[in-house]
Structure 1
Protein backbone atom coordinates (compact mmCIF):
# COMPACT_ATOMS: atom_id res chain seq x y z
CA UNK A 1 0.00 0.00 0.00
CA UNK A 2 1.15 3.52 -0.76
CA UNK A 3 2.80 5.02 2.36
CA UNK A 4 0.80 8.28 2.05
CA UNK A 5 -2.45 6.32 2.00
CA UNK A 6 -1.36 4.28 4.99
CA UNK A 7 -0.46 7.44 6.91
CA UNK A 8 -3.92 8.89 6.46
CA UNK A 9 -5.48 5.64 7.64
CA UNK A 10 -7.40 4.53 4.55
CA UNK A 11 -10.17 2.28 5.73
CA UNK A 12 -13.43 1.23 4.16
CA UNK A 13 -16.30 2.43 2.04
CA UNK A 14 -19.78 2.53 3.48
CA UNK A 15 -23.16 4.08 2.84
CA UNK A 16 -23.50 7.74 3.83
CA UNK A 17 -25.83 8.26 6.79
CA UNK A 18 -27.82 11.30 7.90
CA UNK A 19 -25.62 11.23 11.02
CA UNK A 20 -22.57 11.91 8.77
CA UNK A 21 -23.93 15.16 7.37
CA UNK A 22 -22.37 17.46 9.98
CA UNK A 23 -18.88 16.17 9.19
CA UNK A 24 -19.56 16.06 5.45
CA UNK A 25 -20.86 19.64 5.41
CA UNK A 26 -17.74 20.78 7.23
CA UNK A 27 -15.58 19.11 4.55
CA UNK A 28 -17.82 20.42 1.77
CA UNK A 29 -17.50 24.03 2.96
CA UNK A 30 -13.71 23.79 3.15
CA UNK A 31 -13.34 21.93 -0.16
CA UNK A 32 -15.64 24.09 -2.32
CA UNK A 33 -16.24 27.82 -2.61
CA UNK A 34 -19.87 27.02 -3.50
CA UNK A 35 -20.65 24.07 -1.25
CA UNK A 36 -23.65 21.77 -1.34
CA UNK A 37 -26.18 22.41 1.42
CA UNK A 38 -27.56 20.11 4.07
CA UNK A 39 -30.86 19.90 2.19
CA UNK A 40 -29.17 18.85 -1.07
CA UNK A 41 -27.30 16.05 0.70
CA UNK A 42 -30.43 14.95 2.56
CA UNK A 43 -32.36 14.85 -0.71
CA UNK A 44 -29.66 12.65 -2.27
CA UNK A 45 -29.84 10.17 0.62
CA UNK A 46 -33.66 10.26 0.57
CA UNK A 47 -33.68 9.62 -3.20
CA UNK A 48 -31.58 6.49 -2.64
CA UNK A 49 -28.67 7.78 -4.70
CA UNK A 50 -25.45 5.89 -4.19
CA UNK A 51 -24.05 8.10 -1.40
CA UNK A 52 -20.80 6.70 -0.05
CA UNK A 53 -18.07 7.71 2.37
CA UNK A 54 -14.50 6.52 2.69
CA UNK A 55 -13.60 6.43 6.35
CA UNK A 56 -10.48 5.39 8.18
CA UNK A 57 -10.55 2.72 10.89
CA UNK A 58 -11.43 5.41 13.46
CA UNK A 59 -14.61 6.50 11.61
CA UNK A 60 -12.92 9.65 10.30
CA UNK A 61 -14.49 10.56 6.93
CA UNK A 62 -11.75 11.18 4.38
CA UNK A 63 -13.80 11.39 1.17
CA UNK A 64 -17.36 11.03 -0.07
CA UNK A 65 -19.19 10.62 -3.33
CA UNK A 66 -22.75 10.88 -4.61
CA UNK A 67 -23.96 9.15 -7.77
CA UNK A 68 -27.38 8.60 -9.29
CA UNK A 69 -27.99 5.55 -11.47
CA UNK A 70 -31.02 4.59 -13.55
CA UNK A 71 -31.92 3.26 -16.99
CA UNK A 72 -28.38 2.17 -17.84
CA UNK A 73 -26.79 5.52 -17.02
CA UNK A 74 -25.07 6.94 -13.95
CA UNK A 75 -24.23 10.52 -13.04
CA UNK A 76 -21.47 11.35 -10.56
CA UNK A 77 -22.89 14.37 -8.79
CA UNK A 78 -20.25 15.01 -6.13
CA UNK A 79 -16.83 13.60 -5.31
CA UNK A 80 -14.95 15.37 -2.54
CA UNK A 81 -11.88 14.76 -0.41
CA UNK A 82 -11.05 16.37 2.92
CA UNK A 83 -8.77 19.28 1.84
CA UNK A 84 -5.87 18.33 4.09
CA UNK A 85 -5.83 14.83 2.54
CA UNK A 86 -6.01 15.85 -1.11
CA UNK A 87 -3.24 14.63 -3.40
CA UNK A 88 -2.97 11.23 -1.68
CA UNK A 89 -5.00 9.11 -4.09
CA UNK A 90 -8.28 9.22 -2.15
CA UNK A 91 -10.24 10.82 -5.01
CA UNK A 92 -9.08 8.00 -7.29
CA UNK A 93 -10.18 5.42 -4.74
CA UNK A 94 -13.60 7.05 -4.41
CA UNK A 95 -13.96 7.35 -8.18
CA UNK A 96 -13.02 3.68 -8.65
CA UNK A 97 -15.55 2.70 -5.97
CA UNK A 98 -18.33 4.69 -7.66
CA UNK A 99 -17.47 3.06 -10.98
CA UNK A 100 -17.67 -0.38 -9.33
CA UNK A 101 -21.14 0.52 -8.02
CA UNK A 102 -22.14 1.66 -11.51
CA UNK A 103 -20.98 -1.63 -13.02
CA UNK A 104 -22.91 -3.56 -10.36
CA UNK A 105 -26.01 -1.58 -11.36
CA UNK A 106 -25.42 -2.62 -15.00
CA UNK A 107 -24.74 0.95 -16.08
CA UNK A 108 -23.37 1.40 -19.60
CA UNK A 109 -22.35 5.08 -19.40
CA UNK A 110 -21.24 7.29 -16.51
CA UNK A 111 -21.52 11.08 -16.84
CA UNK A 112 -20.22 13.98 -14.75
CA UNK A 113 -19.67 17.71 -14.88
CA UNK A 114 -16.45 19.37 -13.76
CA UNK A 115 -15.20 22.94 -13.63
CA UNK A 116 -12.56 23.54 -16.33
CA UNK A 117 -10.65 25.53 -13.69
CA UNK A 118 -10.34 22.37 -11.54
CA UNK A 119 -7.31 20.97 -13.32
CA UNK A 120 -6.67 18.21 -10.78
CA UNK A 121 -10.20 16.86 -11.19
CA UNK A 122 -10.07 17.10 -14.99
CA UNK A 123 -6.78 15.15 -14.98
CA UNK A 124 -8.23 12.54 -12.61
CA UNK A 125 -11.28 11.94 -14.76
CA UNK A 126 -9.27 11.90 -18.00
CA UNK A 127 -6.79 9.40 -16.53
CA UNK A 128 -9.75 7.20 -15.51
CA UNK A 129 -10.98 7.09 -19.11
CA UNK A 130 -13.57 9.88 -19.12
CA UNK A 131 -13.81 11.90 -22.34
CA UNK A 132 -15.12 15.40 -22.80
CA UNK A 133 -18.43 15.25 -24.66
CA UNK A 134 -19.80 18.76 -24.20
CA UNK A 135 -19.93 22.04 -22.36
CA UNK A 136 -22.69 23.44 -20.15
CA UNK A 137 -22.49 27.22 -20.33
CA UNK A 138 -22.80 29.09 -17.02
CA UNK A 139 -23.40 25.86 -15.09
CA UNK A 140 -21.53 26.66 -11.86
CA UNK A 141 -21.72 29.72 -9.61
CA UNK A 142 -18.39 31.54 -9.53
CA UNK A 143 -16.83 34.48 -7.73
CA UNK A 144 -17.59 36.63 -10.77
CA UNK A 145 -20.80 35.38 -12.33
CA UNK A 146 -20.92 31.81 -13.62
CA UNK A 147 -18.42 29.20 -14.80
CA UNK A 148 -19.00 26.67 -17.56
CA UNK A 149 -18.88 22.93 -16.89
CA UNK A 150 -17.11 20.32 -18.96
CA UNK A 151 -19.44 17.37 -19.49
CA UNK A 152 -17.49 14.12 -19.43
CA UNK A 153 -18.54 10.52 -20.01
CA UNK A 154 -17.08 7.05 -19.69
CA UNK A 155 -18.41 3.87 -21.28
CA UNK A 156 -18.22 0.89 -18.93
Structure 2
Protein backbone atom coordinates (compact mmCIF):
# COMPACT_ATOMS: atom_id res chain seq x y z
CA UNK A 1 0.00 0.00 0.00
CA UNK A 2 1.32 3.44 -0.85
CA UNK A 3 1.62 6.09 1.83
CA UNK A 4 -1.19 8.05 0.15
CA UNK A 5 -3.42 4.95 0.23
CA UNK A 6 -2.54 4.39 3.89
CA UNK A 7 -3.58 7.95 4.70
CA UNK A 8 -6.78 7.66 2.66
CA UNK A 9 -7.68 4.46 4.52
CA UNK A 10 -6.97 6.00 7.92
CA UNK A 11 -9.08 9.05 7.00
CA UNK A 12 -11.96 6.85 5.85
CA UNK A 13 -11.79 4.96 9.14
CA UNK A 14 -11.51 8.13 11.23
CA UNK A 15 -8.14 7.07 12.63
CA UNK A 16 -5.48 9.56 13.67
CA UNK A 17 -1.84 8.42 13.69
CA UNK A 18 1.12 9.27 15.94
CA UNK A 19 4.73 8.19 15.57
CA UNK A 20 7.43 7.65 18.20
CA UNK A 21 10.83 7.42 16.56
CA UNK A 22 14.37 7.02 17.75
CA UNK A 23 16.85 5.71 15.17
CA UNK A 24 14.76 6.97 12.23
CA UNK A 25 14.74 10.52 13.57
CA UNK A 26 11.30 11.39 12.21
CA UNK A 27 11.51 9.65 8.84
CA UNK A 28 8.12 7.95 9.31
CA UNK A 29 6.42 11.21 10.24
CA UNK A 30 8.13 12.88 7.26
CA UNK A 31 6.92 10.16 4.87
CA UNK A 32 3.39 10.58 6.16
CA UNK A 33 3.40 14.37 6.06
CA UNK A 34 4.96 14.52 2.58
CA UNK A 35 1.45 13.74 1.30
CA UNK A 36 -0.92 16.71 0.89
CA UNK A 37 -3.88 16.46 3.23
CA UNK A 38 -2.03 14.35 5.78
CA UNK A 39 -3.06 16.74 8.55
CA UNK A 40 -6.45 15.02 8.52
CA UNK A 41 -4.75 11.84 9.73
CA UNK A 42 -1.35 12.61 11.29
CA UNK A 43 -1.74 13.95 14.82
CA UNK A 44 1.93 14.23 15.81
CA UNK A 45 5.35 12.67 15.78
CA UNK A 46 7.75 12.25 18.67
CA UNK A 47 11.47 12.07 17.95
CA UNK A 48 12.92 10.67 21.16
CA UNK A 49 16.56 9.99 20.38
CA UNK A 50 17.84 9.97 23.95
CA UNK A 51 16.65 7.88 26.87
CA UNK A 52 15.74 11.09 28.69
CA UNK A 53 13.51 12.14 25.79
CA UNK A 54 11.84 8.71 25.77
CA UNK A 55 11.07 9.14 29.46
CA UNK A 56 10.01 12.82 29.35
CA UNK A 57 7.95 12.79 26.15
CA UNK A 58 6.54 9.25 26.10
CA UNK A 59 6.63 8.08 29.71
CA UNK A 60 9.07 5.23 29.10
CA UNK A 61 10.04 3.90 32.52
CA UNK A 62 13.64 4.21 33.72
CA UNK A 63 13.36 0.66 35.07
CA UNK A 64 12.49 -0.62 31.58
CA UNK A 65 15.46 1.17 30.05
CA UNK A 66 17.77 -0.12 32.80
CA UNK A 67 16.54 -3.71 32.53
CA UNK A 68 16.32 -4.04 28.74
CA UNK A 69 18.10 -1.09 27.11
CA UNK A 70 16.66 1.37 24.64
CA UNK A 71 16.80 -1.14 21.78
CA UNK A 72 14.26 -3.64 23.06
CA UNK A 73 10.70 -4.68 22.41
CA UNK A 74 9.85 -3.61 25.96
CA UNK A 75 10.93 -0.02 25.24
CA UNK A 76 9.26 -0.12 21.80
CA UNK A 77 6.02 -1.13 23.56
CA UNK A 78 6.23 1.73 26.06
CA UNK A 79 7.10 4.18 23.28
CA UNK A 80 4.07 3.20 21.18
CA UNK A 81 1.74 3.24 24.18
CA UNK A 82 3.21 6.57 25.29
CA UNK A 83 2.60 8.06 21.85
CA UNK A 84 -1.07 7.06 22.12
CA UNK A 85 -1.34 8.40 25.65
CA UNK A 86 0.34 11.73 24.82
CA UNK A 87 -1.61 12.40 21.61
CA UNK A 88 -5.08 12.44 20.13
CA UNK A 89 -4.26 9.43 17.95
CA UNK A 90 -5.91 6.03 17.91
CA UNK A 91 -2.92 4.34 16.24
CA UNK A 92 0.78 4.72 16.98
CA UNK A 93 3.96 3.14 15.73
CA UNK A 94 7.33 3.21 17.48
CA UNK A 95 10.86 2.50 16.32
CA UNK A 96 14.05 2.06 18.33
CA UNK A 97 17.21 0.47 16.99
CA UNK A 98 20.86 0.42 16.06
CA UNK A 99 21.19 2.07 12.65
CA UNK A 100 24.98 1.95 12.75
CA UNK A 101 27.75 2.07 12.27
CA UNK A 102 28.63 -0.10 15.18
CA UNK A 103 26.56 -2.05 17.61
CA UNK A 104 27.64 -4.86 19.89
CA UNK A 105 27.60 -8.62 20.16
CA UNK A 106 24.28 -8.39 22.01
CA UNK A 107 22.75 -5.54 20.02
CA UNK A 108 24.16 -5.68 16.49
CA UNK A 109 23.96 -3.03 13.83
CA UNK A 110 20.69 -3.32 11.96
CA UNK A 111 18.58 -4.53 14.92
CA UNK A 112 15.39 -2.50 15.09
CA UNK A 113 12.49 -2.97 17.49
CA UNK A 114 8.98 -1.84 16.58
CA UNK A 115 5.78 -1.30 18.51
CA UNK A 116 2.27 -0.80 17.19
CA UNK A 117 -0.41 0.40 19.58
CA UNK A 118 -4.08 0.99 18.85
CA UNK A 119 -6.83 2.15 21.16
CA UNK A 120 -8.59 -0.82 22.73
CA UNK A 121 -6.13 -3.41 21.40
CA UNK A 122 -3.08 -5.18 22.77
CA UNK A 123 0.16 -3.54 21.74
CA UNK A 124 2.23 -5.64 19.36
CA UNK A 125 6.02 -5.62 19.18
CA UNK A 126 8.62 -7.20 16.97
CA UNK A 127 12.33 -7.12 16.30
CA UNK A 128 13.74 -7.14 12.78
CA UNK A 129 17.40 -7.87 12.06
CA UNK A 130 18.08 -5.81 8.94
CA UNK A 131 21.80 -6.51 9.18
CA UNK A 132 24.78 -4.21 8.69
CA UNK A 133 23.38 -2.51 5.60
CA UNK A 134 24.81 0.87 6.54
CA UNK A 135 23.13 3.63 8.49
CA UNK A 136 21.04 5.10 5.69
CA UNK A 137 19.79 1.73 4.44
CA UNK A 138 18.85 0.52 7.93
CA UNK A 139 16.95 3.73 8.62
CA UNK A 140 15.10 3.53 5.28
CA UNK A 141 14.25 -0.15 5.82
CA UNK A 142 12.97 0.66 9.32
CA UNK A 143 10.86 3.53 7.98
CA UNK A 144 9.33 1.31 5.31
CA UNK A 145 8.64 -1.48 7.80
CA UNK A 146 6.92 0.95 10.16
CA UNK A 147 4.70 2.23 7.32
CA UNK A 148 3.77 -1.37 6.54
CA UNK A 149 2.95 -1.98 10.21
CA UNK A 150 0.62 1.03 10.18
CA UNK A 151 -1.05 -0.24 7.03
CA UNK A 152 -1.51 -3.73 8.50
CA UNK A 153 -2.83 -2.28 11.77
CA UNK A 154 -5.53 -0.33 9.91
CA UNK A 155 -6.88 -3.67 8.70
CA UNK A 156 -7.39 -4.73 12.33
CA UNK A 157 -9.17 -1.57 13.46
CA UNK A 158 -12.92 -1.81 13.11
Q: Which one has the bigger helix percentage?
A: 2
TM-score by length of 2: 0.33
Determine which structure has greater relative contact order: mean sequence separation of CA pairs < 8 Å that are 6+ residues apart, divided by chain length. Answer: 2
Q: Which has the higher strand share?
A: 1
Query: Normalization by structure 1: what TM-score?
Result: 0.33
